[in-house]
């Protein structure tokens, strides 16, 4: 067992895990079960989290590799009891059906909208290419991300 700490949704969190433990496993053991395991082979994107703001598939990273970094999961996105605009947009635009892929989709969208606040439809499709959804057919997911971009832009106010 190796002791190490990760800043998890803004809180420094201590872990003592076998070095081979994947980050996704560590998160789920810490009760952050919004991060899903869909494939464990780095294909589906259901396990996507932000590491220092970058969207990363947490099944591709050892937990110990996140030591000293800031990890944000879907649980850390809402602002207190208020949903994050991306979460609100997914509800409004019906960007989900079973919801299994949704946390990963939202975390990928959060990364995209930080670097590309006004993405084209093509850019949204491209950003989401590592996230698989087997229910929705993607159209509403892309609409939700576009809607989230508008919501975030309107929050910024006049420049």
CB closer to ligand FES out of 98 and 139: 98
Q: Which residues bind ligand FES (CB under 6 A)?
A: 37-40, 42-47, 57, 59, 96-101, 133-136
CB closer to ligand FES out of 39 and 83: 39
CB closer to ligand FES out of 83 and 132: 132
Within 8 A by CB and 6+ apart from 127, the residues are 108, 109, 111, 112, 116, 119, 145
Tell the smallest beta-carbon distance from residue 152 to ligand FES (Å): 22
CB closer to ligand FES out of 14 and 93: 93
Tell the smallest beta-carbon distance from residue 124 to ligand FES (Å): 15
CB closer to ligand FES out of 81 and 142: 142
Tell the smallest beta-carbon distance from residue 75 to ligand FES (Å): 17
Cα separation, 133 vs 99, in Å, equals 9
Quickly count: other Cβ atoms within 10 Å of residue 90's Cβ.
Answer: 25
At residue 131's C-alpha, the angle toward residues 9 and 80, to 5°, is 25
Tell the smallest beta-carbon distance from residue 123 to ligand FES (Å): 20
- Phi and psi torsions of 149, nearest 5°: -60, -40
Tell the smallest beta-carbon distance from residue 14 to ligand FES (Å): 24
Instruction: State the alpha helices, DSSP H only, in 31-117.
Output: 85-92, 102-115
Q: How many CA atoms lie within 13 A of 80 on its CB side?
A: 0
- Phi and psi torsions of 6, nearest 5°: -130, 140
């Amino acid at each position: 067992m190796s002791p190490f700490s990760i800043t998890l949704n803004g809180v420094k969190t201590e872990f003592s895990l076998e070095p081979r433990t994947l980050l996704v496993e560590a998160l789920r053991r810490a009760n952050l079960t919004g991060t899903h395991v869909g494939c464990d082979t780095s294909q589906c994107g259901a396990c996507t989290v932000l590491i220092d703001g970058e969207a990363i598939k947490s099944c591709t990273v050892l937990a110990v590799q996140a030591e000293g970094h800031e990890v944000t999961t879907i649980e850390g996105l809402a602002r207190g009891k208020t949903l994050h605009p991306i979460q609100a947009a997914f509800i409004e635009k019906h960007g989900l059906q079973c919801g299994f892929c949704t946390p990963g989709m939202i975390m990928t969208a959060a990364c995209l909208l930080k670097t590309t606040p006004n993405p084209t439809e093509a850019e949204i499709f491209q950003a989401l290419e590592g996230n698989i959804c087997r229910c929705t057919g993607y159209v509403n997911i892309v609409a939700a991300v576009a809607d989230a971009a508008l919501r975030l832009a309107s929050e910024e106010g006049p420049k």
